Amino acid sequence: MIQASGLHKSYGETVALDGVDLHVREGEIYGVLGRSGAGKSTLLRCVNLLERPGRGTVTVAGQELTALRSGELNHARRRIGMIHQHFALLSSRTVAANVAFPLEVMGVARAERERRVAELLDLVGLGGRGGDRPHQLSGGQKQRVGIARALAGDPAVLLSDEATSALDPATTRSILDLLKRLNAELGLTILLITHEMNVVKSVCDSVAIMAGGRIEESGSIAGLIRTP
Ligand code: ADP
Ligand code: ADP
């Protein structure tokens, strides 16, 4: 579902990605684990071409994104949802309007948008909260809004950038449970980056360990991490 080959990315003298290959199969939850500065976030941003790799190719859901021009890329990116550590919600918009935002950009008609937003809020356990503003919600609820918004375009792939790092352990658990459920029920492929071993252990099928812009090891969770 996601195939990245030979990715290189430098910022001036800093080499953020130094030849990264990644293969994420359809329907799996794949974790990239590493310390701060390892290159995880650069890798994630290269997967949806928010950042253009200096070298290498990225193919998502059968489409080589690195071969597309920017106009075509915007269209292809609808198949890729993303959630963020600090949620990235628009504070002036209601919860429903945040979730509706990508649908507006896609030109989905108002009635269909409202139907879809209600469905998405139900899916993430926020039915009835559409009229609230983000500041009225807890961190976990804000991340649920982020997840609903990321799913609005019916993506094949969800990218998660440290989605639970700003949350307490119980809330982290509930968000990870939600991701697991979406993976099982929708067949959603999830690529997540994290610095927390516990996140990887509790939800991932496969893991890559990253350091210094390289993947040091990768494979099934059972093979790489011994659980006590
Ligand atoms: P991680 O997500 O694992 O913390 P990053 O991908 O953010 O790692 O960073 C990898 C390296 O690239 C770091 O040395 C970081 O300082 C550098 N880097 C990342 N983004 C930029 C940028 N926009 N400009 C300059 N250096 C960057
Ligand atoms: P407007 O479209 O008048 O600017 P808003 O900014 O409040 O209205 O909302 C933007 C979009 O969010 C709406 O067009 C609609 O698609 C969606 N939306 C807003 N409120 C709700 C709601 N309670 N239930 C479902 N969808 C909603």
Identify the band that residue 60 occupies on the pLDDT scale cut at 50, 70 and 90: very high
Q: List all residues whose CB is within 6 A of at least one atom of ligand 2.
A: 93-94, 96-97, 100, 110, 113-114, 117-118, 130-131
Q: For the segment 131-155, what is each residue's pLDDT rounded down to a tens digit?
A: 999 999 999 999 999 999 999 999 9
Identify the band that residue 70 occupies on the pLDDT scale cut at 50, 70 and 90: confident
Other CB atoms within 10 A of residue 136 CB: 12
Q: Among all ligands shown, which has an atom nearest to the Cα of 37?
A: 1
User: Which residue has tokens 């990225």?
Assistant: 58
User: Which residue has tokens 């021009």?
Assistant: 69
Here the tokens at position 75 are 């269209």
| β-strand partners of 81 | 158
Please determine, for residue 222, whether its predicted confidence score (pLDDT) is greater than 90. no
Atom of ligand 1 nearest to the CA of 213: 10
- Tell me the CA–centroid distance for residue 114 and ligand 2, in Å: 7
DSSP state of 89: -
Positive or negative torsion for Cα 44, 160, 179, 169: positive
Helix (H) or strand (E) holding 49: none
Does 39 sit in the ligand 1 pocket, CB within 6 Å?
Answer: yes
The Cα–Cα gap between 37 and 15 comes to: 10
Q: How far is CA 220 from the centre of its chain?
A: 20
Closest CA to 210 of 60, 46, 88: 46
71-78, long-range: CB < 8 A, 24+ apart:
73/49, 77/48, 77/49, 78/102, 78/106, 78/153, 78/155
CB crowding 195-225: b at 16 or more within 10 Å, else e: eeeebbeebbbbbbbbeebbbeebeebeebb
Q: Among all ligands shown, which has an atom nearest to the Cα of 97?
A: 2
Specify the length of the chain in residues: 228
Q: For the segment 164-221, what is each residue's pLDDT rounded down to a tens digit?
A: 999 999 999 999 999 999 999 999 999 999 999 999 999 999 999 999 999 999 999 9
Q: Whose CA is nearest to atom 20 of ligand 2?
A: 96
- Tell me the CA–centroid distance for residue 92 and ligand 2, in Å: 12
Please determine, for residue 116, whether its predicted confidence score (pLDDT) is greater than 90. yes
pTM of the model: 0.93
Give Cβ neighbours of residue 128 (< 8 Å, ≥ 6 apart): 121
Does 131 sit in the ligand 1 pocket, CB within 6 Å?
Answer: no
Closest CA to 212 of 5, 9, 2: 9
